[in-house]
């Protein structure tokens, strides 16, 4: 035999001969002479078609014609054989390769796709498809079979049909309730667990919704017996202890289903995660030794043979050794300095200071709690005060220590020998102070009232007598500052009026009227209201001597320094002479100690 497009390759050995059998099979081998054969690659497509070529009733899909090889272009003819055996032509030959349809009758279908190329060669492919009704069906089950109060009941949902994915909604009616309570809204989880809280009948309801929004509901009644509820009866030997001590956890349970196992966990209250002390086992006594002075949470769990677990939590406070305060209180004038020191308790510490007068009952805050361990506060007035120091650790423990202090403010009491003089005269300033904290030191400054800046007459010194010699007939401001040991300064101001003289005056001055042995004295000669130029004679002697020692004969030089050679009293003589020969003398007394 010959076939178009094929050539004979080999003939069988039994192609001729005498045979007595009623049927003889003879096989001839041919090969195609077509170098690029037409291949039908058609298929069913669409989201509603499963890998097993199953589609739900009424859901759309596509019969997709496809080919390769042969001679393009291609044409497609599509027909279908229905479940009852009838064949229906859906599409005659056309270049349209996709045919979209939906089926309303369930059963087994076969789609036939004929592909014809431009040479007239035809390739046929059958595409089987099963159409199912797609009805969503569910069932519900619960375990254990005979639950009692306190048991954990697990509800399971099962689904068939519909369109995946599914979502599950669980609710129940407790015994005596008329309405359902939602336990878990629609999620992809097909099970739910809850604890039976009372005896009676629970009505469990499961609603399942598929991807096509179809919803099916099923209920199940579960009767819960009045068995004893599992109770965690664990106790601690203490919930407040000192760092280094231990807590004993006595684990116990009742009710539920014996035997029981126990687990213990602990953590610092400030931590998010627990550390396991004991995993579930039958040991019912556990010791926990905290490692820091802080608050701890201890969690205990008891589990019965049915798997029900009851948790009981405890809070344990761990303290350091007793908080002790060692404070130092100093007073300087009205200023009080408290230096705090503490040990024990739980660091860090904070410090506060309160005060009151001895004749009142209410303390006032000098300083609220601060981490600064040195507090300096100025009391409002002279008198005796009760001070209350407070030290607080990080657990809130407070230690109070009371003190009594008597304070006196520094009071400056300087005087001046005159407030009105004639140029050429001196004023003596007597420095004095009281209160505060002795010893005192004094500084004296002077300026013309028309000036903005003071000149130092005496810097801070223990010297209490200061001589000031004005150099002009005008008004002067004199400022005296008294400073105590604590550094408190009080200033006193005087106004000195210096009148114009009737004739020439000697305005000479010396740096100090009291010096220490080894120090020098600066002499500043001066004159006014004579006929310039002026010349100056300077001499000095011990007060016990009758003879002066010449330091400078009459010269225009105004400044001379001398250094007394003994601890005694000296007289310094300064003579000023103008151009007419008029002479004015001035004597100073200096004490050398």
| Non-local CB neighbours of 123 within 8 Å, separated by 6+ positions | 38, 39, 40, 67, 70, 114, 115
What is the predicted pLDDT for the residue at 242? Answer: 87
Q: Which residue has the higher pLDDT, 302 or 162?
A: 302
* Count of Cβ atoms closer than 10 Å to residue 120 Cβ: 8
Q: Of how many residues is the chain composed?
A: 593
Average pLDDT over residues 1-15: 73
Instruction: Report strand pairing: 152-160 vs 137-143.
Output: antiparallel
The model's confidence at residue 4, banded by pLDDT at 50, 70 and 90, is low
| pLDDT for the residue 346 | 79
Section 442-466 average pLDDT: 95
Whether residue 280 has pLDDT greater than 90: yes
Give the model confidence (pLDDT) of 154-210 as tens digits: 999 999 877 778 999 999 999 999 999 999 999 999 999 998 888 899 999 999 998
> Tell me, what's the pLDDT at 582?
94
CA 426 to chain centre: 70
**And the tokens for 515?**
């010096």
The total of other beta-carbon atoms located within 10 Å of residue 52's CB is 7
What distance in Å separates the CA atoms of residue 415 and residue 431, rounded to the nearest whole number? 7
**Residue range 253-273: mean pLDDT, rounded:** 94
Q: Which pLDDT score, from 0 to 100, does residue 133 have? A: 76
User: What pLDDT, on the 0 to 100 scale, is given for residue 5?
Assistant: 63
pLDDT tier at 485, thresholds 50, 70, 90: confident
Please compute the mean of the pLDDT values over residues 262-285 and round it to a whole number: 97
Is 112's pLDDT higher than 90? yes
- Give the integer Cα–Cα distance in Å for 242 and 292: 10
Residue 462, pLDDT > 80, answer yes
Q: What is the mean pLDDT of residues 294-313?
A: 94
What is the structure's pLDDT at 293?
A: 84
The predicted pLDDT at position 57 comes to 82
Residue 1, pLDDT > 90, answer: no
pLDDT tens digits along 322-358: 888 889 998 877 889 999 999 888 789 999 999 999 9
Tokens of 50: 């499963």
- Is 446 a residue whose pLDDT tops 80? yes
d(CA 179, CA 191): 21
CA dist 71 to 31, 33, 64, 119, 291, Å?
A: 20, 15, 19, 6, 86
Domains of the chain are: 39-132 (2.60.40.10), 137-224 (2.60.40.10), 231-319 (2.60.40.1080), 324-407 (2.60.40.10), 410-500 (2.60.40.2550), 506-593 (2.60.40.1080)
Q: Which of 143, 138, 196, 189 is nearest to 172 (CA)?
A: 196
The residue written with tokens 């309570």 in the block is 181
- 475 φ/ψ angles, rounded to the nearest 5 degrees: -100, 135
* Nearest residue to 553 via CA among 581, 521, 526, 577: 577
pTM over 0.75: no
For position 424, what pLDDT does the model report?
87
Ramachandran category for residue 191: left, alpha or beta (phi over 0 → left; psi -120 to 50 → alpha): beta
Phi/psi for 253 (5° steps) reads: -150, 160
For the stretch 23-52, pLDDT in tens is 778 788 877 666 789 999 999 998 777 766
Q: How far apart are the C-alpha atoms of 495 and 81, rounded to whole Å?
A: 131
Per residue in 490-528, pLDDT (tens digit) is: 899 999 999 999 899 999 999 999 999 999 999 999 999
- For residue 53, what pLDDT is reported? 84
Mean pLDDT score across all residues of the chain: 91
**CB contact at 8 A, 589 and 564:** no
C-alpha distances (whole Å) from 279 to each of 56, 259, 433, 551 are 52, 16, 79, 105
Q: Which residue has the higher pLDDT, 213 or 122?
A: 122
């Amino acid at each position: 035999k010959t076939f178009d497009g094929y050539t004979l390759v080999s003939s069988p050995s039994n192609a001729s001969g005498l045979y007595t059998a009623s049927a003889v099979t003879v096989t001839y081998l041919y090969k195609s002479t077509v170098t690029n054969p037409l291949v039908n690659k058609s298929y069913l497509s669409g989201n509603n078609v499963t890998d097993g070529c199953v589609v739900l009733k009424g859901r759309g899909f596509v019969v997709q014609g496809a080919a390769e090889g042969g001679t393009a272009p291609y044409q497609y003819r599509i027909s279908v054989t229905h479940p009852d055996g009838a064949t229906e032509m859906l599409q005659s030959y056309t270049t349209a390769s996709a045919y979209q349809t939906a089926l309303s009758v369930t059963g087994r279908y076969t789609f036939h796709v004929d592909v014809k190329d431009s040479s007239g060669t035809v390739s046929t492919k059958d595409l089987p498809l099963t159409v199912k009704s797609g009805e969503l069906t569910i069932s519900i089950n619960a375990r254990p079979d005979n639950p009692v109060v306190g048991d954990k009941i697990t509800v399971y949902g099962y689904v068939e049909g519909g369109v995946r994915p599914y979502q599950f909604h669980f609710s129940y009616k407790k015994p005596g309730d008329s309405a359902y309570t939602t336990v878990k809204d629609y999620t992809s989880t097909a099970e739910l667990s809850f604890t039976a809280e009372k005896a009676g009948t629970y009505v469990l309801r499961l609603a399942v919704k598929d991807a096509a929004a179809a919803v099916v509901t099923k209920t199940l009644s579960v009767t819960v017996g009045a068995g004893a509820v599992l109770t965690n009866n664990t106790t601690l030997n203490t919930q407040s202890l000192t760092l280094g001590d231990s807590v004993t956890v006595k684990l116990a349970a009742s009710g539920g289903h014996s035997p029981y196992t126990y687990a213990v966990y602990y953590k610092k209250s400030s931590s998010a995660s627990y550390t396991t002390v004991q995993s579930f086992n039958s040991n019912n006594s556990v010791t926990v030794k905290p490692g820091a002075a802080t608050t701890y949470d201890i969690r205990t769990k008891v589990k019965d043979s049915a798997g029900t677990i009851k948790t009981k939590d405890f809070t344990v406070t761990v303290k350091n050794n007793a908080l002790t305060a060692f404070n130092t209180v100093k007073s300087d004038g009205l200023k009080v300095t408290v230096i705090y020191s503490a040990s024990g308790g739980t660091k860090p510490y904070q410090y506060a200071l309160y005060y009151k007068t001895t004749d009142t009952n209410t303390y006032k805050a000098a300083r609220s709690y601060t981490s600064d361990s040195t507090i300096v506060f100025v009391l409002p007035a002279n008198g005796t005060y009760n001070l209350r120091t407070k030290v607080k650790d990080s657990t809130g423990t407070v230690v109070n220590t009371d003190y009594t202090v008597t304070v006196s403010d520094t009071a400056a009491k300087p005087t001046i020998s005159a407030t009105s003089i004639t140029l050429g005269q001196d004023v003596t300033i007597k420095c004095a102070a009281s209160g505060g904290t002795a010893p005192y030191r004094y500084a004296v400054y002077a300026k013309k009232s028309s000036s903005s800046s003071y000149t130092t007459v005496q810097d801070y010194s223990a010297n209490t007598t200061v001589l000031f010699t004005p150099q002009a007939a005008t008004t002067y401001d004199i400022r005296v500052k008294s400073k105590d040991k604590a550094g408190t300064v009080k200033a006193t101001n005087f106004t000195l009026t210096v009148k114009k003289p009737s004739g020439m005056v000697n305005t000479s001055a010396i740096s100090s009227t009291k010096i220490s042995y080894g120090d020098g004295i600066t002499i500043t000669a001066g004159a006014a209201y004579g006929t310039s130029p002026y010349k100056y004679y300077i001499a000095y002697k011990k007060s016990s001597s009758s003879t002066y020692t010449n330091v400078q004969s009459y010269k225009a030089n105004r400044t001379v320094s001398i250094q007394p050679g003994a601890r005694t009293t000296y007289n310094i003589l300064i003579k000023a002479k103008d151009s007419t020969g008029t002479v004015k003398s001035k004597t100073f007394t200096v004490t050398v100690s």
